[in-house]
Amino acid sequence: MARKVCTLNVGSFNIGYDNRKAEQGWEKRKEFVVSLVRFHEFDVFGTQEGCSYQLKDIAGNTYDYVYVNGFWNKNNPDIAPEKSQHNGIFWLKDKFKLLDTGNFWLSETPDKKSFGWDAAESRGCVWVKLKEQKSGKTFFFFCVHLDHRGVEARQNSVLLILEKMQEIAKGMPVFCVGDFNGDPESAHIQTIRSSGFLFDSRLVTQTPPYGTIGTFNGYKKDSSMKGNLDYIWVTKDIQVKKYGVLNDMPYLVSLSDHFPILIKAEM
């Protein structure tokens, strides 16, 4: 009997926190973000920096997706709950069955909301366990956004994430996506690469990567695009067929200050 293969389009997209005016505001960008998701036919993807209403806009205008989110607050008591930032995980509701979900904080006390180490903001990781209906394959999907200032926080966060993933997934296939706020030479990125547990999809793709090395553009079309902050990591039981940074920028409006990443993966 032939082995059932599960092929997935997996993505990560820092959609840009809605704290900007004029052409960079969410109202100007959201229809193009939705259009990109539809066109590239993401099966499952993680988002970072979205306010709750930004995630609702994506789900409400793509129709086929459902999502979970884990929120984290900036270090500012004056920020309203609806302006808190979230890590979201979206998946096609007819393709997958949600088996489990959870989250933990990137800190010394991961089971309760807290700041970790020298972080500027409280940070968290959200995860889901999904079953692909056609093949019956089950996998875990984690979405994170590491702190932008705390060097110690980033290093300790990746150690915690690696530990938690192995504890939660128990040997099953894992995707880990997000904004890791570090280029490939950063100490915390090197920690992940040397773990032997997660592999950088850009490095293990079976075809040449598409697009620029960089994923950060700062809302500037003339950016050097060398800042590689966003990653999709996979465990060894996942084959990466294709990897791309979707930096076409076909619109007059920048979709975000980050480019989305998309891989074609097989289990």
- pLDDT tens for 6-63 read 999 999 999 999 876 667 889 989 999 999 999 999 999 999 999 999 999 999 888 8
In a domain, 61, yes or no: yes
In a domain, 3, yes or no: no
Q: What is the mean pLDDT of the chain?
A: 91
Instruction: Give the pLDDT band (50/70/90) at residue 80.
Output: low
In a domain, 255, yes or no: yes
In a domain, 47, yes or no: yes
Residue 122 belongs to domain with CATH number: 3.60.10.10
In a domain, 123, yes or no: yes
Residue 203: what pLDDT?
A: 97
In a domain, 2, yes or no: no
State how far the alpha carbon of 93 is from the alpha carbons of 42, 43, 44, 107, 118, in Å. 12, 9, 10, 32, 38
Residue 140: what pLDDT?
A: 99
Evaluate if residue 97 carries a pLDDT over 60. yes
Per-residue pLDDT tens over the stretch 199-213: 999 999 999 999 988
Residue 84: what pLDDT?
A: 81
Amino acid (1-letter code) at residue 110: P
In a domain, 127, yes or no: yes
In a domain, 196, yes or no: yes
State how far the alpha carbon of 100 is from the alpha carbons of 127, 130, 156, 227, 261, in Å. 8, 7, 26, 34, 25
Instruction: Determine the structural domain holding residue 216 and report its residue range.
Output: 8-266
Residue 53: what pLDDT?
A: 92
Counting the structural domains of the chain, the total is 1
